[in-house]
Amino acid sequence: MELVNGRYQIQGVDLLSVCKDHGTPLYVYDADKIGQQVERLRNAFEGVNLRIKYATKALTNINILKLMRKYGTEVDTVSIQEVKLALHCGFTPEEILYTPNCVSFDEIKMAVDLGVMINIDNIHILEQFGEFYGNSVPCCIRVNPHLTAGGNAKIQVGHIGSKFGISVFQMRHVRKVVENFGIDVVGLHMHSGSDFLQSEVFLMAAEVLFNEAQHFPDLKFLDMGSGFKVAYKEGDITTNIEEIGREMSKVFKKFCKEYGRDLELWFEPGKFLVSEAGYFCVSTNVVKHSPAAVFAGVDSGLNHLIRPMMYGSYHDIVNISNPSGTQRVYDVVGYICETDTFGQDRKLNEVRAGDVLVMKNAGAYGFSMTSNYNSRFRPAEVLIYKGQAHLIRRREVFEDLLATQVEVL
């Protein structure tokens, strides 16, 4: 998003006009930014067989999935519904990794029937998998490396108390299960969390995975997960993708030489690919003065963007209706019957009732975590693609709230 002649634009498309055409609240995505992030990640790795598995849960709109396929990524899914969405969008089963957590074995069987790669993070499930399939279906195993890393406790998933993955201390047991059932393990997976800054975290995790890989002679790939940090505000420290690519390529090639053959290196970026491409547009309902603060109350809330309330995440906020106005300090708050503060003590160009505010970095875990709390409608979504604004999800209406309910009284 850039300011051109006093108007904010994406690919030359006037953002205020998009909001006028489609209303607010509204999610807007920049397809060019997504493509740039894919290319940046791909170019960071040299001399390795890299496969990018977009973490579908970050943003599941089918047009975004089709865009990812157009840009040459594959997908990582965490539910059978995401698997089916990916297939619907043209991904082949071979391009889909299925990484569930605490699901029933029935869902695992459904995924196997669809032909996707199964990533197992539970010894009990691994035993069931062996009993049911033996060596007839290849699988991947998710290892918990016991590394505490990530920007927030809720996104640190590789520590010893995490529910994700099989403890690295249990891998001897895993190998016995694999041997007893003759399970065809073709990949090892690891994901320690999100918002990493240094390449050292990935290198430490890689060393754990390299050590375990030596016990599995038929591997085809190692999956390092993701967790790359993007900029949330100007001057923010971000993950140095080029450094990670350079260092990881070096150690991975060394490992492959020791292993005896070249393997594929997989990554599962979600936020890195779509976060900075997303903008959440809201309209100001009221400007309310209190002894402690001036509130800019908008036509949205935690039902549409829960990350600031759930994770304490920072989203830069811009008043696109008054880009040259005098700057004042506001608390930007929502209309939900809970405390739903999007940003506190924010210096914004003067906000007036009716002004459109835009929250940046809203592409990942924005719409995908929306709800109908307070019986509010979910917002619309627009994709800016090749210089044109395309509606890719209509706004909900009252009939949508009733669609799945069954009246018995």
**Which residue numbers belong to the known binding site?**
227, 307, 311, 338, 365
Residues in CB range of 62: below 8 A, 6 or more apart = 85, 88, 89, 392
Strands 264-267 and 278-289: unpaired
Cα–Cα distance measured from residue 175 to residue 328, given in angstroms and rounded to the nearest whole number: 61
Instruction: Establish whether 337 is a catalytic residue.
Output: yes
- Residue 200, C-beta contacts closer than 8 angstroms, at least 6 positions apart: none
Q: How far apart are CA 34 and CA 22, in angstroms?
A: 22
CA–CA distance, 263 with 189 (Å, rounded to integer) = 13
- Cis before 308 (ω within 30): no
Q: Give 384's strand partners.
A: 30, 389
List the binding residues for pyridoxal 5'-phosphate. Answer: 227, 365
Give the number of other CB atoms < 10 A from CB of residue 388: 10
Q: What are phi and psi of 104, to 5 degrees?
A: -75, 160
First-to-last alpha carbon distance for the chain, in angstroms, is: 50
d(CA 98, CA 78): 6
Which residues does the annotation place in the binding site for substrate?
A: 307, 311, 338, 365
Contact partners, residue 170, CB within 8 Å, separation at least 6: 123
Question: Which residue, among 118, 113, 119, 61, has the nearest Cα to 86 in the 3D structure?
Answer: 61
Phi-psi region of 234 (alpha: psi -120 to 50; beta: other; left: phi over 0): beta
- Reading the block at residue 220, the tokens are 């085809």
122: left (phi over 0), alpha (psi -120 to 50) or beta: beta
Phi-psi group of 254: left, alpha or beta (phi > 0 → left; psi -120 to 50 → alpha; rest → beta): alpha
Name the catalytic one among 102, 139, 140, 337: 337
Tell me the catalytic residues: 337
